[in-house]
Amino acid sequence: MKRPCTGRWLVPALLSSLFALGPIDSALAAANPPKVALVMKSLANEFFLTMENGAKAYQQQHSGEFELVANGIKNETDTAAQIAIVEQMIASHVDALVIAPADSKALVPVIKKAADAGIKVVNIDNRLDPAVLDSKQLQVPFVGPDNQAGAFKVGEYLGQQLNAGDAVGIIEGVPTTTNAQQRTTGFRQAMDAAKMTIVSVQSGNWEMAPAQQVAAAMLSEYPDIKALLAGNDNMALGAVSAVRAAGKAGQVKVVGYDNIQAIAPMLKDGRVLATAEQYADRQAVYGIEAALKLVKGQDTGAQSGVIVTPVDLVTGKP
């Protein structure tokens, strides 16, 4: 502790040197606040923007404790761009990396590189494939909501409003993402439990216009569809539009996921029955907290590599 410290740093620095046994790392960390890189998916998506803003607000409240470098890619499927960003973060010697991977498998090699460079990695939002992680002997804690359980809650609520045997369609996100797969699984389980018939599962690629097209095709092909389950709210907006265009307003129920702002008026007037809130702003914060604990060598409290954040059902009825 030869370097000059400001008063703010004195206490943690002294404390860490008092408790220190092999604490060169933590002493340095206390002197220079650790640099945490937050690498997001599409910052164009409201969900990730909320997440990033939550992280920034948290950083401002705890400005002495860590530095934050936030980065995102243009669109959610641009895996190559995200890998390039992680490589830059490795080159700029960050202490920790909190990442929402664009692809649950393709990002693993570069995360391995980061871990090998001594960077503490925490996985948020979209869980890295455990099998691929194992094959690289990597342990990356996942902080995030249980998408499958969240989708199940939404589906369960929908099921209560339908009659057994009713036909339903699922509009999935980008099929290669774990989030899309888990939400679809959750929807399927809920529909099976409520004895609904799933007549079609197709991808709307997380977006409004493609979802509208797919929903319109489902409604033409299966005129007796009673509900559409969309993997996110943007696609639910597209589904609502298709229902209206088919002249079936009020006859086909629509549910979504994410609880974005634009869905609020639709929840209110019943065009969307329910959605799930998974507190995007808290996720990056939980991720950063876990990353800081790892940097300090503390226990993250993860159970079998997972720290679960809450998901709540949001319905139109007050």
Partner 1 sequence: MKTTTAGQAPAPARHRASLAVLGTYLGLAAALLILIVLFSCLSSHFWSYSTFSTIANQIPDLMVLAVGMTFVLIIGGIDLSVGSVLALAASALSVAILSWGWGPLPAGLLGLACAALAGTVTGSITVAWRIPSFIVSLGVLEMARGAAYQLTGSRTAYIGDAYAWLADPLLWGISPAFLIALAVTVLAQLVLTRSVFGRQLIGIGTNEEAVRLAGIDPRPSKVLVFTVMGLLAGVAALFQLSRLEAADPNAGAGLELQVIAAVVIGGTSLMGGRGSVVSTFFGVLIISVLAAGLAQVGANEPTKRIITGAVIVIAVVLDTYRTRRARGRG
Nearer to partner 1, 134 or 221 (CB): 221
Among 1, 167, 209, 306, binds partner 1 (CB under 8 A): 209
Report if residue 223 touches partner 1, rule: CB under 8 A. yes
Is residue 103 within 8 A of residue 177, CB to CB? The reply is yes
Please count the residues of this chain forming the interface with partner 1, following the rule CB under 8 A.
43
Report if residue 10 touches partner 1, rule: CB under 8 A. no
Packing angle, helices 108-116 and 79-91, rounded to 10: 0
Nearer to partner 1, 148 or 234 (CB): 234
267-306: b or e for each residue (b if 16 or more CB lie within 10 Å)? beeebbbbbbbbbbbbbbbbbbbbbbbbbeeeebebeeee
Report if residue 224 touches partner 1, rule: CB under 8 A. no
- Of the candidate spans 23-31, 126-134, 136-144, 260-268, the one that interacts with partner 1 by CB under 8 A turns out to be 260-268
Among 160, 261, 303, 304, binds partner 1 (CB under 8 A): 261
Nearest approach in angstroms of CB 233 to partner 1 is 8
Nearest approach in angstroms of CB 245 to partner 1 is 6
Nearer to partner 1, 94 or 227 (CB): 227
Show contacts with partner 1 in window 82-121 (CB under 8 A). none
- Of the candidate spans 81-89, 92-100, 205-213, 273-281, the one that interacts with partner 1 by CB under 8 A turns out to be 205-213
Show contacts with partner 1 in window 131-190 (CB under 8 A). 175
Among 241, 275, 278, 283, binds partner 1 (CB under 8 A): 241
Name the one residue in this structure whose structure tokens are 């803003």.
Answer: 53
Among 81, 162, 246, 306, binds partner 1 (CB under 8 A): 246
Report if residue 270 touches partner 1, rule: CB under 8 A. no
One DSSP character per residue, the chain reads: --S---HHHHHHHHHHHHH-SS-HHHHHHHHSPPEEEEE-S-TTSHHHHHHHHHHHHHHHHTTTT-EEEEE--SSTT-HHHHHHHHHHHHHTT-SEEEE--SSTTTTHHHHHHHHHTT-EEEEESSPPPHHHHHHTT----EEEE-HHHHHHHHHHHHHHHS-TT-EEEEEES-TTSHHHHHHHHHHHHHHHHTT-EEEEEEE-TT-HHHHHHHHHHHHHH-TTEEEEEESSHHHHHHHHHHHHHTT-TTTSEEE-SS--GGGHHHHHHTSS-EEEE--HHHHHHHHHHHHHHHHHT-----BTTEEEE--EEEES--
Nearest approach in angstroms of CB 19 to partner 1 is 43
Among 36, 37, 237, 284, binds partner 1 (CB under 8 A): 237
Report if residue 214 touches partner 1, rule: CB under 8 A. yes
Nearest approach in angstroms of CB 149 to partner 1 is 25
Among 75, 88, 161, 189, binds partner 1 (CB under 8 A): 75
* Residues that bind partner 1 in the complex, under the rule CB under 8 A: 42-46, 49, 74-75, 175, 200, 202-203, 205, 207-209, 212-214, 216-223, 233-234, 237-238, 240-241, 245-247, 260-266
